[in-house]
């Protein structure tokens, strides 16, 4: 038993050591890596997936997956642009986007909790619905948008640090506050750890699942605001694939896919890990096609390590 | 006739606890032998050793006069030993033919030889005079016919010894008759049959001889003509265990009932169950495995949906459709399956302990780890739970200590009724005593207790009153005054 604890600890360090080695390697290979400009740029770019990953951490701890968040991000980005372009101020747009996220999360959550659809399938369907909505409201064309607050959110800095990074960090703090400090958070761990025990302990498991999906979807919607703000344009393909980056970030961070364990601090490392990989590919001019292959392999290795350890622990 | 099976001096320990104390068991070729015993007598363990699922700590097995090494199910099958399980082990989405050959498919270079398989299948069909379409999906075939396929598999594997583990539990009367004819046909073909059942009628109808086990010992083997129901229940329960009630009664008989259940029925098999519990009273539910005891309490607790009936706590009707509502009404459950329903294995001990009471552990809307750990360490002390630290995961604890963690969830003054469903299953003697002590302490405070155990001795030990359950119904409500295991067993077997 003691051995197992050691192994898990080693694994946590493993991620950090791996991350540091990666950074060291990249900085030797490309002097441009360790410049302030590149690092701030890298962090700014990681913020959108970072905010999604914060929500994904909760989802995975509750024992589920959500593969609709990329589309939610994209669609929320388009809603951002459309509402602002209609002349409404920033502070009207934000509640609209949050409401959108909440509704999507509610539908997915009800499908999963009340109709017992596996979360992977329910959010697969939900993702398609949202993607369709995105195409419908944009007509497939990019929508550019200009708003002083939005521009500050996407491109501004505070105390020399880009605003999106604050939002990323805030979302991580928010998620960890819920997970570690509130009754709801404890119930999320419990449901992910063993939903039957939770139910027999008087927890309304269905409600917990639904609330988790609502929170995660709201965070994904907020990331859409940041995305549109940063790029200045909402497109019909914005956000696609972010759900996979987010799942990879959470799992590489060390939150276990079977649920009941992990936290959002770990997810930060996972997000940075993924960003540094992408960033280094660009700096080292790795061909885009090849980037996919490498990134996929890295995810397989990281998750494979996690699952293999668990399998061995269970067999023992 | 020659001896087909000899098991000699079979002993089995599970982590130091002896469950078989040197069993001798011999069966002749072409004999139908019934194997009887109360819950926990060791008959399943003995059969699992025969079939290679468990390995005996000591002792040897001879099959057909030769010493047999049986270390896994495959070796058992090679020696000609087969079992027809109580719960069928077929894959519902595959066809009968697919299931028949599962894992033993005939093939040429990886390509299934369906023609050959069909030929073999129909050969076995002819031998037993069965007609089951090999191409139907298994889930579309009745349980009885699936069982026939299992029997055909035994024949196909050239089994010499066939074990039937409570084969009639889910069969209709007609299907039972067909099964008995098949078993008699197997006997004609010189197969050796070991037949496990609780239903004595079947045994009198079918068996040549009856072996009775009790608490890990073989009581003896008798020709069925020498046996009668009272004699069997005496052998199954034994005389040395008439120790009676040992916990002090705290039943407040003069007060109004704390729990009243009226005409409770549910799809899970619960049939028109009515009873009450007085404050401080311990009511035991006695019955064999599968009698429907857990199902009854799951309805009361809202874990299973009831279809009709009312539940009153302190005279007031309560609506319970979710465990949350049961808990709010003051009803708690220590569930049967500790690992699946009682604890969250990888979560910290203190978090498991506070799960039910979590909403009381807040300070300014935020969880207060101080309050949580205070509650948990109070529970650890009160229940003498042995733990490495409050933050260790529950999976590091022994079964007894895990069970105490489950108990610790309910140490709250607002509880009025506590249901203990098999609280002593798989735990050591010391922990058992602690659990009985806790039951008594709860009763002393006026909590009404519903106590389930498959060990009748424990039910007798703890209860003020005993309800005998079979098939989801209450057969008898008896005051625990000099009740013996034999009395209960006779009620069940009647």
ipTM given for this complex: 0.82
Residues 6+ apart with CB under 8 A from B352: B343, B344, B394, B405, B406, B408, B409
Q: Reply yes or no on whether the pLDDT at A47 is more than 90.
A: yes
Question: Given pLDDT bands bounded at 50, 70 and 90, which one contains residue B211?
Answer: very high
Question: Given pLDDT bands bounded at 50, 70 and 90, which one contains residue B177?
Answer: confident
Quote the minimal CA–CA distance from B273 to chain A in Å.
22
Q: What is the CA radius of gyration of chain B?
A: 25
Assess contact for B456 and B370: CB atoms under 8 A.
no
Predicted local distance difference test score (pLDDT) of residue A1: 38
User: Residue B395's closest CA among A1, A6, A192, A60?
Assistant: A1
Domain-by-domain residue ranges, chain A? Answer: 44-315
Q: What are phi and psi of B311, to 5 degrees?
A: -125, 125
Residues 6+ apart with CB under 8 A from A214: A101, A102, A105, A106, A109
The Cα–Cα gap between B213 and B454 comes to 15
Quote the minimal CA–CA distance from B410 to chain A in Å.
10
Residue A181 in contact with partner chain B when CB distance is under 8 A: yes
- Taking residues B59-88, report their average pLDDT: 87
Class of domain A44-315: mainly alpha
| Beta strands at B282-286 and B66-68: parallel, antiparallel or unpaired | unpaired
| Beta strands at B3-14 and B17-28: parallel, antiparallel or unpaired | antiparallel
Determine the residue among B349, B355, B389 to mutate to test chain A binding: the one whose Cβ has the most chain A Cβ atoms within 10 Å.
B355
Residue in A181, A194, A199 nearest the CB of B323: A199
Predicted local distance difference test score (pLDDT) of residue B242: 46
Burial of A180 (0-12, 13-18, 19+ CB in 10 A): middle
Query: Could you read off the pLDDT of B134-149 as tens digits, one per residue?
Result: 999 988 888 888 888 8
Query: Could you read off the pLDDT of B385-444 as tens digits, one per residue?
Result: 888 899 999 988 888 899 999 999 999 888 999 999 999 887 777 788 889 989 999 999
Using the Cα atoms of residue B344, residue B350, residue B353 and residue B358 in order, give the sign of their dihedral: negative
Quote the minimal CA–CA distance from A259 to chain B in Å.
10
B58 by DSSP, 3-state: which? Answer: strand
Predicted local distance difference test score (pLDDT) of residue A4: 43
For the record, the structure tokens of B137 come out as 């999906």
**What residue in B sits closest to A259 (Cα-Cα)?**
B346
Query: Could you read off the pLDDT of B220-272 as tens digits, one per residue?
Result: 999 988 888 778 878 887 654 445 566 778 888 888 999 999 999 999 889 99
Predicted local distance difference test score (pLDDT) of residue A272: 92
For the record, the structure tokens of B74 come out as 């495959």
Assess contact for A112 and A119: CB atoms under 8 A.
yes
For the record, the structure tokens of B325 come out as 């509502």
């Amino acid at each position: 038993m003691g051995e197992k604890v050691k192994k898990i600890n080693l694994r946590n360090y493993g991620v950090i050591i791996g991350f540091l080695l990666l950074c060291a390697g990249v900085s030797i290979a490309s002097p441009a890596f360790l410049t302030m400009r590149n690092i701030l740029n890298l962090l700014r770019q990681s913020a959108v997936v970072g905010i999604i990953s914060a929500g994904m951490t909760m989802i995975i701890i509750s024992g589920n997956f959500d593969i609709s968040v990329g589309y939610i991000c994209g669609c929320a980005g388009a809603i951002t642009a459309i509402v602002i372009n209609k002349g409404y101020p920033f502070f009207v747009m934000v509640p609209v986007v949050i409401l959108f996220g909440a509704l999507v999360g509610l539908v997915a959550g009800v499908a999963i909790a009340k109709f017992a659809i596996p979360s992977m399938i329910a959010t697969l369907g939900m993702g398609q619905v949202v993607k369709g909505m995105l195409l419908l409201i944009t007509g497939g064309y990019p929508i550019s948008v200009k708003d002083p607050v939005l521009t500050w959110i996407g491109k501004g800095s505070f105390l020399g640090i880009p605003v999106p990074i604050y939002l990323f960090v805030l979302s991580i703090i928010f998620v960890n506050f819920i997970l570690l400090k509130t009754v709801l958070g404890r119930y999320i761990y419990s449901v992910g750890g063993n939903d039957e025990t939770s139910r027999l302990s008087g927890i309304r498991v269905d409600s917990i699942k639904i609330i988790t999906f609502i929170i995660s979807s709201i965070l994904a919607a907020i990331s859409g605001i940041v995305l549109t703000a940063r790029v200045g344009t909402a497109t019909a393909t914005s956000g696609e694939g972010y759900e996979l980056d987010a799942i990879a970030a959470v799992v590489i961070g060390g939150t276990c896919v079977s649920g009941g364990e992990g936290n959002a601090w770990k997810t930060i490392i996972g997000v940075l890990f993924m960003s540094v990989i992408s960033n280094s590919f660009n700096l080292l001019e790795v061909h885009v096609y090849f980037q996919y292959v490498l990134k996929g392999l890295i995810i397989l290795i990281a998750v494979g390590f996690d699952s293999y350890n668990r399998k061995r622990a269970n067999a023992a | 006739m020659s001896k087909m099976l000899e098991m000699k001096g079979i002993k089995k320990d599970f982590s130091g606890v002896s469950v078989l104390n040197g069993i001798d068991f011999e069966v002749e070729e072409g004999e139908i032998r019934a194997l009887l015993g109360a819950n926990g007598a060791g008959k399943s363990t003995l059969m699992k050793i025969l079939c290679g699922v468990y390995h005996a700590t000591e002792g040897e097995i001879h099959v057909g006069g030769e010493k047999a090494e049986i270390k896994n199910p495959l070796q058992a099958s090679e020696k000609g030993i087969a079992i027809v399980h109580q719960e069928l082990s077929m894959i519902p989405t595959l066809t009968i033919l697919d299931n028949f050959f599962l894992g033993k498919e005939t093939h040429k270079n990886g390509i299934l030889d369906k023609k050959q398989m069909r030929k073999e299948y129909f050969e076995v069909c002819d031998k037993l005079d069965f007609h089951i379409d090999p191409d139907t999906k298994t889930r579309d075939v009745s349980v009885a016919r699936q069982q026939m396929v299992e029997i055909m598999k035994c024949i196909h594997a050239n089994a010499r010894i066939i074990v039937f583990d409570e084969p009639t539990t889910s069969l209709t009367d007609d299907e039972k008759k067909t099964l008995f004819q098949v078993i008699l046909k197997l006997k004609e073909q010189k197969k050796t049959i070991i037949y496990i059942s609780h239903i004595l009628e079947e045994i009198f109808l079918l068996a040549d001889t009856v072996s009775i086990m009790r608490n890990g010992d073989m009581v003896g083997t008798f020709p069925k003509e020498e046996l009668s129901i009272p004699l069997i229940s005496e052998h199954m329960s034994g005389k040395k265990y008439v120790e009676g009630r040992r916990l002090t009664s705290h039943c407040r008989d003069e007060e109004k009932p704390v729990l009243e259940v009226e005409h409770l029925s549910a799809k899970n098999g619960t049939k028109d169950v009515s009873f009450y519990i007085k404050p401080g009273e311990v009511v035991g539910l006695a019955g064999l495995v599968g009698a429907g005891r857990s199902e009854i309490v799951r309805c009361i607790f809202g874990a299973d949906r009831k279809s009709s009936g009312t539940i009153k706590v302190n005279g007031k009707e309560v609506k319970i459709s979710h465990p949350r509502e049961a808990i709010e009404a003051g009803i708690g459950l220590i569930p049967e399956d500790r690992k699946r329903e009682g604890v969250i294995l990888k979560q910290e001990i203190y978090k498991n302990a506070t799960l039910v009471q979590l909403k009381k552990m807040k300070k300014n809307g935020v969880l207060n780890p101080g309050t949580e750990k205070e509650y948990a360490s109070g529970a650890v002390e009160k229940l003498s739970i042995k733990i490495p630290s409050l933050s260790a995961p529950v999976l590091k604890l022994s079964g007894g200590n895990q069970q105490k963690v489950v108990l610790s969830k309910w140490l709250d003054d607002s509880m009025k009724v506590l249901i203990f469903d098999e609280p002593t299953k798989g735990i050591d003697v010391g922990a058992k005593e602690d659990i009985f002590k806790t039951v008594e302490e709860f009763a002393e405070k006026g909590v009404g207790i519903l106590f389930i155990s498959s060990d009748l001795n424990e039910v007798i030990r703890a209860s003020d009153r005993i309800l005998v359950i079979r098939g989801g119904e209450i057969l008898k409500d008896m005051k625990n005054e000099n009740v013996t295991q034999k009395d209960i067993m006779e009620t069940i077997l009647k």
